[in-house]
Amino acid sequence: MAYIEPISISLNVSGDAPDDDDSDGDDGMLPMQYIPILKTLKALLSQEDVIAQVLEDRRSKDGVIRDFCDGDVFGESPLFQQHPNALQVMLYNDEFSCTNPLRNRSKNHKIYAVYFVLGNLSPMYRSALNSIQLVSLCPQPLLKKYGFAKMLQPLINDLKLLETEGIQVCVDGSNYHFYGTVSFVAADNLAAHGLGRFFENFSSALRLCRFCNATKESMALSFDENRFILRTSSSYDAQVKLVCQNKVLVSTYGVKHPFPLNQLAFFHVCNGLPADIAHDLFKLAYLKELTEDLHTSFCSLSLGTMLNPRGTSPSIDKKIWTPSSLLDDEQQALHLECHNYLNANIIDSTFVGDISLHKRPEQVQDLISSHLGIVPENVVKAEKIVQCGSTFAVGTVAILGFEDDDYRFGEIAFIFLLQSLYFLCCKKLDTLEYNVHFQAHILKDTDTWVLIQPSQLLDHQVLGLYSVNNEKAVVMKYHVNPTSLLARLS
């Protein structure tokens, strides 16, 4: 393949304002380097094996989705409808450092890189190093000062020409004319939010997801895609317009600036930033068991596959998203069951292995027997779990209910998993008084045990234990109206 010489581009153009002008001048800083993508594409297509791959119709004939050309985004694109062999430019972006990462000014030398792969190649060839082409290199301080729009503009200008005019290549005396566009941009969650101009601070934004308009509260309580309103090109454009008029709305809508690549005629950010499978699915330690037999119920999987040798649960992303169009009806049902179970039960749980309930106090055994009918020989014990949007841990206090005009609390003594359900075994605490000065409920220990599931609690606050005048005390995070809650639960 022929060498394509990079072009040095200065982003400091008079009259252009940066997105986030929070740094000083860029004197002495290396300019951005751009390798013209149209020249790179012509060099690629001049090779016989590449042109053969591009001309091959690789769309699925049996309805099974195997590649981008089998999906809805490809099928609904006017460009690909008119030109099925149009070039699919798959972009990838990331940053790297060439210096010692431990030095105090290492961030000043980070380089932001953009690569692309020609999606018309067979998937077996795309991951080869010689199939990955460099597009641009930009020092991170320059990118921070002038923004993605300025950095990507040379690429966008070339892509506009690719969409409207196309490129002409000659191979073995035959002339070919190709159009093309960006099919998608691959990135991890943080990089995708940065490039897509979505809010990158996941702890403070009201809407965190780039796929839908879910709020933090709704994400913690529901895990079914159908319960959320997905972002569309029209809703995204309307939100960006409002944000440009009033920057206060940035955290409300989770969008900071217009996505630069939306200037293209056949690409939009709502369809162009897919989930990263390496982060969202491959972290599952037992993915192999799930995919080997989709007819196996998730609950029948051995609990041993959930535990690693250290006894802790695998790391699982908060939101596991798989396009429904990739699965048939039976697979969708299993995926939904696994999705809900993982998010509701396993996320951030810390297991400590099996325990024997027969070694617990007799009152505890009787309580378990009255609830479950039997006292199991062994159950899986957990130090903490996440349920209903709250983290319940041994030693914390849960709100059990409301009796005799006062709240009833329980100190969580241990947590166990049985038949896919979590149970909190609590030592009941009676309220002695309410201390107005500390706004705390003063408590005393009792000999009464309570077995309860997190969903059965009066409220899902998890409280810490304090000491007030040598007495146990808890401070509620917010007021709970027991009348309305009890009416709702009854």
Pairing of strands 87-97, 180-186: parallel
CA-to-CA distance for 220 and 370, rounded, in angstroms? 32
Tally of domains in the chain: 3
Residues 6+ apart with CB under 8 A from 440: 434, 466, 468, 473, 474, 475
Place 283 in a pLDDT band, splitting at 50, 70 and 90: low
Range of the domain at 365: 351-489
**Same domain as 329, residue 269:** no
Cα dihedral across residues 261, 265, 271, 277: positive or negative: negative
Nearest CA to 477 out of 413, 399, 418 is that of: 399
Count of positions (residues) in the chain: 490
Q: Which of 259-268, 339-348, 409-418 has the lowest mean pLDDT?
A: 339-348
Q: Which of 212-216, 335-339, 403-407, 411-415 has the lowest mean pLDDT?
A: 335-339
The mean pLDDT value for 420-426 works out to 84
Q: Which of 242, 274, 306 is the last residue of a domain?
A: 274
Task: Give percent of the chain above pLDDT 70.
Answer: 74
CA-to-CA distance for 237 and 259, rounded, in angstroms? 10
> How far is the CA of 252 from the CAs of 19, 56, 201, 213, 446, in angstroms?
19, 46, 12, 10, 46
**Same domain as 355, residue 343:** no
pLDDT at 351: 47
Helix intervals (H) in 2-131: 37-45, 48-55, 72-76, 78-82, 123-126
**Same domain as 153, residue 37:** yes
CA-to-CA distance for 183 and 320, rounded, in angstroms? 23
**Same domain as 178, residue 126:** yes
**Same domain as 454, residue 328:** no
Work out the end-to-end distance of the chain between its first and last CA atoms, rounded to an integer number of angstroms: 72
pLDDT at 106: 62
Q: Which of 271-285, 294-308, 322-336 has the lowest mean pLDDT?
A: 294-308
**Same domain as 376, residue 261:** no
Q: Residue 118 pLDDT more than 70?
A: yes
> Does residue 236 sit within a domain?
no
Helix intervals (H) in 297-449: 329-341, 362-372
Q: 3-class DSSP state for residue 83? A: coil
The mean pLDDT value for 399-404 works out to 85
Place 21 in a pLDDT band, splitting at 50, 70 and 90: very low
**Tokens 């009152």 correspond to what residue?**
363
**Same domain as 386, residue 306:** no
pLDDT at 6: 93
Top-confidence residue, 428 or 387: 428
**Same domain as 310, residue 176:** no
The mean pLDDT value for 379-407 works out to 85
**Same domain as 367, residue 333:** no
pLDDT at 310: 34
pLDDT at 326: 43
Look up residue 166 and give its two tokens. Answer: 């196309």
Q: What is the DSSP string of 409-465?
A: EEEEEEEEEETTEEEEEEEEEEEEEEETTTTEEEEEEEEEEEEE-GGGSSEEEEE--
The mean pLDDT value for 366-391 works out to 76
pLDDT at 14: 52
Q: Which of 75-89, 91-105, 221-235, 283-297 has the lowest mean pLDDT?
A: 283-297
Work out the mean pLDDT of the chain and round it to a whole number. 77
